[in-house]
Every structure is written in C-alpha cells, then in structure tokens.
Structure 1
C-alpha cells in the first residue's frame, strides 16, 4: 500500500486580486497615463514602454504603487525626450496618491472562505509589495484578525514559501498556497513542496502571467474561492 500523504496543517492566501481587487485600479491609472501622453506618442506604445520600465525597475523599486508611479514618471520622460511638462508630472504623482487611498473591495467569498478554513487550519496571509500600502489594504479589508500570521515580502520565491510555511506551520509539504498569480503564488509554492491552488482573476498583470503546469500532482485550479473547501477536503481526505 502506498504511504499516506501528510495531512494539511497550513493554508496560505495571497491578497491582491485573490482576496480584494487590485489590478483594476492599475488598469484605470494606465488609461489615465496613456491619455496624459497622447500628444507625444501612440497610446499602445506608451503602455508598452511603461511595461518595459516596470520590468527594468523591479530589481530597484520592487512591487507596488510607489514603484509603479516612478515607472510612469520615467516613461513620461522617455516618451517626451526629456521635455515632459511639469503639470504632467504633477498629475502622475496625483494618480499615484489616489491609488494609495483607493477604498478596498473584497472579492466574493473571501471572508466566508477564510472563516471556514480557520476552523481546522493555520491560516497565513502572504503578500508582496509596499509595506505601508499592504498594511493599509489589510486594515481596510477587515480580514486581518482571521489570520494566524501576516507576511509582507519583497518577492515570492521558493525560499519564501519554505521559510513561511516552516515558521507558521509544519513545513511546505503540509501546506497549501492559494492565489491568482501562477508566477508568484502557485509555481514557486509547488516547487517548495506545497500544494498550489490557482484562482484566476479577470485581470492579471503581464509580469505575473505564466503557463499553467500540465502534470504537477500538487496543482489545482478553481474558478472561485468558494470552491476551496472542496479542494481541501479532496486533498486532506475529509
């Protein structure tokens, strides 16, 4: 008889676009930015240059609204050959401030799912980005008290999941990570030894996209957080 897989003890949740809306506000700001520079370059070219700047700057600024705002300013300078008007810079900064104060909208099933899971498992929030902004969003979501631990990290890597699931649980082999990003939430967690549950969002940042794995036994996909309990029961033999 094959050995029984160790039971789950720890569930990790991503935050942005898994528990609350996030990318929607970036897309709205991108459209505003494109319109601001409409007299200087084609709109699609502006957005392509912005994405290229974001990719270049990840190693310097990390993730989050502040990094995004700096990339918009850099792109505006580039697109206008250094002649970007000061009022445009001012509007870019204002757009960044508005993003940092935008009300949080939790996604369907977020609270109910976390509450259900906490009855039997240790639950950890694992999110990346600017510390101040992530703390603000967590406070506004009113979900913070449901978690046994909160980790705000600069990036999500294999080592991140090994450390977090060891610190808060019984190691990655007995843990599950749930999120909307294959690149950040699912694939590195599986590589660390955890289960990875993919919950697609309608909008996903290009840098976070990856191909779904075809043959990883610890990979699952669900269409809604409300399906997570069923997946956990299937895996844990409940």
Structure 2
C-alpha cells in the first residue's frame, strides 16, 4: 500500500492541448518555405535547430519562433524574403495568444482529488506564456502551488515535492511526457502516472521503464482517482 499525499500535474498536453498548436504552425511554416525545400527536409532542419537552441532559449513558443527564423535563413542560403520573416513572427504571436482548451476529464478529475491531496502544477517553458495558459485555462484555482521551471530533472522533483509536500516518496507525478514528467520523477523516488497524448514532440520521446514498481500507464487523466484508490 502506498502513502501518497501530493499530486504533481504537468500542464501542456496533460491538462490542455499544446503540441497540436505547434504542429499547425509548422504546417504554416512549411507552406511559407515550399518554394525553397520540401516539407520533410524542412522538418528535419527545424528539429535540428530546436535541439541546438533549447539550451539557449529554453522551451516554448519564443524558442520555436527563433528556430523557425534560423531554419528559414539556412534553407534559403540567407535569401529568405522579409515578408516570410514577418509571417513567421506573426505565427509566433498567434501561438502566444491561442485559446487554451482543457483536455477531457481534466477538470472533473481535479475536483475529485483536490480535497484529499495537495496539488502542484509543474510545467516548463517560457514564464510569460505558461502563466498566460495557466490563467486562461481557469484550472489554477485547483492547485495549491504552481511551479514554472526551465527544466524537469530528478532534482527538480525532489526539491518541489519536498517544498510543497512530504517529499517525493509520497508524491505521484502525472504527465504525458515520459522523458520530462515520468522518468525523472521516478528517479527522484516518486510514483509516476503516464497519460499519453496523441502527439509527441520528437525531443520528448523516451521508452517506458520496464519493471518499475512505481510506474503506471493510464488511458486518460480521468483514471487518476481509480489509480489512487488502488494504491491506497
């Protein structure tokens, strides 16, 4: 039997849609550069730029927008028209104001668990944009703490679950990303509930841990209360 006192929730693609906004923008980007290169090659170059730039710009829309501009310069041999750069910048601004749509079962699940557990929202990315999405979602009222971090590591979870709860040993982290939400939380000593989203950014892909007694996979976030009942 597990003693769980604290629940950590990822935000993007766990509580609300996010990756599909990036995919739609990438489609728009491909149409802008269609005269210079094919879609698949452009996607490879963009992903390479994102991988390089995440260390400098962090995660989120701003870094993605800068990576698109860099890629446009590269694939056009520095001949990219100014109006294409303007379109890319406009696409980035539109992403920063895109409506926030909570995923199914999210709000009812938060309502069910709030009375019995301490809830901590743990998300990474651009501070301004993440704060905007948290507020726009209307879900902030369910959380006892909201933490926006630059990276999710085992030390991140160890520190946050100790600060906002009774330590990682009595915490369950819930999220869609194995790489960022689940594996480092398990390494910190927490429980992990993987709730897959139908789209995954290539830099967030990872394999499920095998034989880990604190790892669980759920069909959707609405199964969280059932998991907690089983564990207790």
User: What is the TM-score of this pair, normalised by structure 1?
Assistant: 0.96
* Aligned residue in 1 for 2:108: 112
Q: Does 1:97 align with 2:93?
A: yes
The match for 1:56 among 52, 57, 73 is: 52
Q: How many residues align?
A: 232
Q: Give the distance between the partners of 1:23 and 1:43, measured in 2 at CA.
A: 18
Spell out, residue by residue over 1:117-152, the C-alpha distance to the aligned partner (whole angstroms, 9 max, x if none): 111000000000000101110111001011000000
Q: Could you tell me which runs of 5 or more consecutive residues in structure 2 were left unpaired when the two chains were aligned.
A: none
The match for 2:146 among 146, 150, 153 is: 150
In angstroms, what is the RMSD of aligned CA positions? Answer: 0.7
Q: Give the distance between the partners of 2:137 and 2:117, measured in 1 at CA.
A: 21
Q: Give the distance between the partners of 1:222 and 1:64, measured in 2 at CA.
A: 26
* Aligned residue in 2 for 1:200: 196
The match for 1:184 among 180, 184, 204 is: 180
User: What is the TM-score of this pair, normalised by structure 2?
Assistant: 0.99
**Structure 1 runs, 4 residues or longer, greater than 2 Å off:** none
The match for 1:76 among 66, 72, 75 is: 72
Q: Could you tell me which runs of 5 or more consecutive residues in structure 1 were left unpaired when the two chains were aligned.
A: none
Q: Give the distance between the partners of 2:96 and 2:9, measured in 1 at CA.
A: 22
Q: How does 1:10-49 map to 2 (within 5 A)?
A: 10-49=6-45
* Aligned residue in 1 for 2:227: 231
* Displacement of 1:224: 0.8
Q: Give the distance between the partners of 2:93 and 2:19, measured in 1 at CA.
A: 16
Q: Give the distance between the partners of 1:163 and 1:233, measured in 2 at CA.
A: 26
The match for 1:131 among 94, 104, 127 is: 127
